[in-house]
Structure 1
């Protein structure tokens, strides 16, 4: 009987031990559900995702702010069209034409009108089939297939020492010839004869000294 009692006590001890072992994981699981252990989750973040997005996750899912396009080299971007471009001068119309330059660059050919005075020049630039001089209406003979007419506004009547006209420059790149014809009622006119079809161009000004810059894009391949 002593052996039977001892066996019963041993069995009871084993049964209590087994019940205590089953209770611990259940309690721990409940606690992690209601209040996550930050140290544990940081060590195993990939296997236990949180219901609340972290700061890094919010940054990844937030809409991105569009980045400003990078500036084009040496000037604004070329437009996609070949439409005429115009701008009004700013200041008194006191500009004098000092020099005209033509150069070939990577991706475009450039015509520069350098001026003196205080005004920011305006412009009217457009493609045409012929070079027609302001005032007289005469057609100016010009090499090339198409004509880009450049009219710088804000210019005063030429004074002694200003750029002598008429003048011819070129060729350079796709520009077969440039003709500087002169001044008429505040506008200084320049014609660029270009080989091939019309293509986009961009117009902008530079300062110190005042300059009007016209870039003619290379023809598409």
Structure 2
């Protein structure tokens, strides 16, 4: 099983519950929350580091009595959106929520505009620009590129730290592999390919990836 090469901290909180499509009452999902003390990343793709980070982990239970439905149209094929390339956003953290039929990965965004994305499954993810292999835990990886996310000018303390971070549910781990020419690159380690959907939501701005682990209703 592959292991992540670098480790840096992140801010991981309980998954936000969008109000688009509530479903009938179901068992309450479990959310795993991890918080860290962020460190400023390099402005360009970085090589792996072995410097350890300090991580505090806590587990909480959602209080909502209704189960969430996955967003979008899940599929295992490549998903991309190049409609917006002028966003002035940066990724401040991510959240993972475990639900009955699916697990949700949410990338929190700050700034102006909308993101684009290029996402596909691969067993051999390569770091953009440099071409270095990115290690991950699992049998396959979901390679995620979020566009419209340039390196912030001035204060970059709110930017998610580069490196590997903990997972949750079907997600073994999340690696912030690089930030190059406004493309934020992530590698999501999984044990198999799950149908997934990608949705951009606002108020607050976030990119939501739902990974389907149970059959959906026809």
TM-score range, shorter chain: 0.5 to 0.7
Question: 5+ residue gaps in structure 2?
Answer: 1-19, 23-67
Relative to total residues, which structure has the larger strand share, 1 or 2?
2
Partner of 1:190: 186
Matches within 5 A, 1:3-152: 73-79=68-74, 81-90=75-84, 92-152=86-146
Partner of 1:181: 177
Partner of 1:208: 203
Which structure exhibits the higher relative contact order, with contacts defined as CA atoms closer than 8 Å and separated by 6 or more residues?
2
Query: 1:116-148, CA deviations, whole angstroms, 9 ceiling, x for partnerless residues?
Result: 112111111100012211111111111011100
Bigger Cα Rg: 1
Counterpart CA distance in 1 for 2:116 and 2:69 is: 19
User: Structure 1 length as normaliser, TM-score?
Assistant: 0.61
Counterpart CA distance in 2 for 1:89 and 1:148 is: 21
Counterpart CA distance in 2 for 1:137 and 1:91 is: 23
The 3 A distance-change label for structure 1 pair 179 and 219 is farther
1:71, distance to aligned residue in structure 2 (A): 5.1
1:194, distance to aligned residue in structure 2 (A): 0.5
Aligned with 1:117: secondary structure?
A: strand
Aligned with 2:152: secondary structure?
A: coil
Relative to total residues, which structure has the larger helix share, 1 or 2?
1
1:89, distance to aligned residue in structure 2 (A): 4.7
The 3 A distance-change label for structure 1 pair 158 and 140 is farther
Question: 5+ residue gaps in structure 1?
Answer: 1-69
